[in-house]
Amino acid sequence: MYFDELALSDQVLDALWDMHFDTCTPVQEQTIPVILDGHDVISCAQTGTGKTAAYILPLLTNLEYDNHDPNKLNAIIMAPTRELAQQIDQQMEGFGFYVPFSSVAIYGGNDSGAWGTQVTGLQKGADIVIATPGRLLSQMNIYDIDFSGVKYFILDEADRMLDMGFYDDIMTIVNKLPKERQTIMFSATMPANIRKMAKAIMHNPVEVQIAISRPPETIRQQAIDIYEPQKDEFLKLLLKNCNLKKVIVFVGKKQRVKELARALRSMHIDARAMHSDLEQKERDEVMLDFRNGKVDVLVATDIVSRGIDVDDVPLVINYDVPRDAEDYVHRIGRTARAENKGEAITLVSPEDKRFFNKIERFLQKVIDRVPLPAELGAAPDSSVCSLAADDRKPSSKRRKGGWHAGRNRKPKHNRQASHKQ
């Protein structure tokens, strides 16, 4: 379906045209009409499917057509992290380029000037507020904020917010909002606590489910059995010999992130660390340099695995195996975005085999094993690192070429189809 087949405003369609987006993703096709019809919506879609645009586009259209008080807050979008709030704010500016609206992003880690801007936006009634729960609640506790004009309440990455312990904060915010409003919730998963919250804050929501928690087929998933002491040398061999750019290496602990980034730099690999100890200004600088290609390798904790949209990431490496299968899906979802192809390599040590088994069972597939380069020595036995026999499904034919295959793909076509936002 094309965007101009939907009841979006001309101004929104003009912005999409300028950005060379014309084709809806499945979540956009199914969600946008329901939002435009005024229904509460709970949408379950994996990362990279275009879910951000699925609520921004109808929201901007509704704000353009609705009679609303320009001196009051009209819409609140909640996000679990500062990085996702920033990304939503940036996309709002792009999609709303021709729409007369005001917005303010409310998140922590800023200087006093940014705090003042946030307060002004809240008190003077920005049309759209994009906020993390903790920071918005902090503002509410200090200032008298008028929520009486709020017609739209949107929760992005709702499952992540609950995982981070924001349930009480969200409910406190909800209790300040008008009862008559449209509530929209996006979540990568649909556990019991999400359904409990939906029941408490939504009215007869329409459910939209798109390929729940499965990596896109455009991601080539591979695993390498490896001992812990071999990991750094493997990264050096892969990153230097293949001359790869814009690679994300996920590591479970921030201290190891710092150590690995330093180790890669000592190998003359342009690597930067991304973790929660960085100040907001430092995070912004790291992400900007990575997006602009000034940094070849981003070594990061899971702070980057959700909601951070960076185009043209050809490869994601799991330095260690995430303990949660959902985190695995979100990590590798940083590649193969906007209809590109990508690769994900997971380094599986003997200590991590049981966690990798859980991921394979969750995905209901055997992930292709590729051999450890011979110059790194013997690899651990992989025979026990697979699905249980009664769970096993036939795997796709193993591709030839090993861990470096695919790095010389043809450039992506010039296309008019929609990029996933």
Residues 142, 226, single domain; the answer is no
140 closest CA partner among 164, 123, 156 = 123
Position 39 scores a pLDDT of 96
**Separation of alpha carbons 321 and 356, rounded Å:** 6
Residues 161, 309, single domain; the answer is no
Position 212 scores a pLDDT of 52
Residues 311, 189, single domain; the answer is no
Position 418 scores a pLDDT of 38
Give me the domain span that covers residue 258.
219-402
Position 308 scores a pLDDT of 67
Residues 241, 372, single domain; the answer is yes
- The answer as to whether 166 is a domain residue is yes
Position 413 scores a pLDDT of 33
Position 211 scores a pLDDT of 58
- The answer as to whether 411 is a domain residue is no
Q: Note if the pTM is more than 0.85.
A: no
- The answer as to whether 387 is a domain residue is yes
- The answer as to whether 226 is a domain residue is yes
Residues 144, 89, single domain; the answer is yes
Domain boundary among the residues 162, 179, 210 is at: 210
- The answer as to whether 240 is a domain residue is yes
CATH number of the domain to which 46 belongs? 3.40.50.300
10-residue mean pLDDT profile of the chain (421 residues): values are 92 92 88 95 78 94 85 92 89 91 82 71 84 91 90 93 91 95 90 89 90 76 95 91 88 93 92 88 90 93 75 92 84 83 95 89 88 92 46 33 30 36 45
What is the 3 state secondary structure string of 272-337? EEECCCCCHHHHHHHHHHHHCCCCCEEEECHHHCCCCCCCCCCEEEECCCCCCHHHHHHHHCCCCC
Position 327 scores a pLDDT of 82
Q: How many domains are there within the chain?
A: 2
Position 48 scores a pLDDT of 63
